[in-house]
């Protein structure tokens, strides 16, 4: 299968899942996860109409930022070390993986130097697995409050990675829980905080995530093949 055929298939499945859930298909955006993939694959997907790409590794992302001329909207979706933030400052549209105040402070500081504001999501470890990053569910509201005090970042929503299951239905409760948490945080009415985005769902389970309210699905393997 080619990248463009895979993309067409995924887009159709996103539409169907959204419609089944009574949602507007345009309320779900596809983030093509291009980690470990060469720039040529990104160009191919871009030419097939895909504009949003997610990367995990900052060195790799920085190289691709320099390499690609296309008007790609870049998202950071993986663990981010504070000392790497400077390499991507001002060059990515959304960071999905803010899980601690020290990282948020560094993002705000680096974007501040450029006179810009960085949109971020708070990554929440809903399952509590020690192997997963993310703030605890109990700590999420407090972290959002603290981030709201920083001048150069803006919280736009939440992100999660559920445990890996063969059966996508098994991930559904974690998606539902992230949705519930976003409503709780929204109800707190923190100034300048929006709980508009929910980043959840990957190749194996994005349809269940859409049914539970995902606005950003992060799909790699199903577009680009096995890594």
Alpha-carbon torsion angle 198, 203, 62, 40, nearest 10: -140
Cβ atoms 175, 212 nearer than 8 A: yes
Binding ligand PLP by CB under 6 A: which of 4, 82, 203, 215? Answer: 203
Contact region for ligand PLP (CB under 6 A) — 17-25, 86-94, 140-148, 196-204?
A: 196-204
Q: For ligand PLP, which is the closer residue by CB, 25 or 204?
A: 204
Instruction: Identify the residue among 37, 78, 85, 172 touching ligand PLP (CB under 6 A).
Output: 78
Residues 208-227, interacting with ligand PLP (CB under 6 A): 218-222
Q: Is 198 in the site for ligand PLP (CB under 6 A)?
A: no
Q: How far apart are CA 73 and CA 175, in angstroms?
A: 25
**Contact between 56 and ligand PLP per CB under 6 A:** yes
Measured from each CB, the residue nearest to ligand PLP is: 220
Q: Which is nearer to ligand PLP, 15 or 35 (CB)?
A: 35
How many residues sit close enough to ligand PLP to count as binding (CB under 6 A)? 14
| Burial of 37 (C-beta count, 10 Å sphere; 0-12/13-18/19+) | buried
At its nearest, how many Å lie between ligand PLP and the CB of residue 142? 23
CA dihedral over 77, 49, 44, 211, signed as positive or negative: positive
CB 215 within 8 A of CB 157: yes
Burial of 186 (0-12, 13-18, 19+ CB in 10 A): middle
Residues that bind ligand PLP (CB under 6 A): 33, 35, 56, 77-78, 161, 202-204, 218-222
């Amino acid at each position: 299968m080619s990248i463009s055929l895979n993309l067409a298939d995924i887009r159709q499945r996103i539409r169907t899942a959204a419609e089944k859930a009574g949602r507007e298909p345009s309320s779900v955006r596809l983030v093509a996860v291009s980690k470990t993939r060469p720039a040529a694959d990104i160009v191919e997907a871009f030419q097939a109409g895909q504009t949003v790409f997610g990367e995990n590794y900052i060195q790799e992302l920085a190289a691709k930022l320099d390499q690609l001329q296309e008007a790609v909207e870049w998202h950071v979706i993986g663990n981010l070390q504070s000392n790497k933030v400077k390499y991507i400052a001002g060059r990515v549209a959304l960071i999905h993986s803010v899980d601690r105040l020290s990282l948020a402070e560094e993002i705000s500081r680096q974007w501040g130097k450029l006179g810009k504001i960085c949109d971020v999501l708070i990554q929440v470890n809903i399952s509590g697995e020690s192997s997963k990053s993310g703030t605890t569910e109990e700590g999420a509201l407090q972290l959002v409050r603290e981030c709201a005090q920083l001048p150069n970042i803006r919280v736009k929503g939440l992100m999660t990675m559920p445990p890996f299951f063969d059966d996508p239905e098994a991930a559904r409760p974690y998606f539902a829980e992230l949705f519930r948490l976003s409503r709780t945080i929204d109800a707190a009415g923190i100034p300048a905080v929006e709980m508009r985005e929910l980043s959840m769902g990957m190749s194996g389970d994005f349809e269940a995530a859409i049914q539970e309210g995902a606005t950003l699905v992060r799909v790699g393997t199903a577009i680009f093949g096995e890594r």
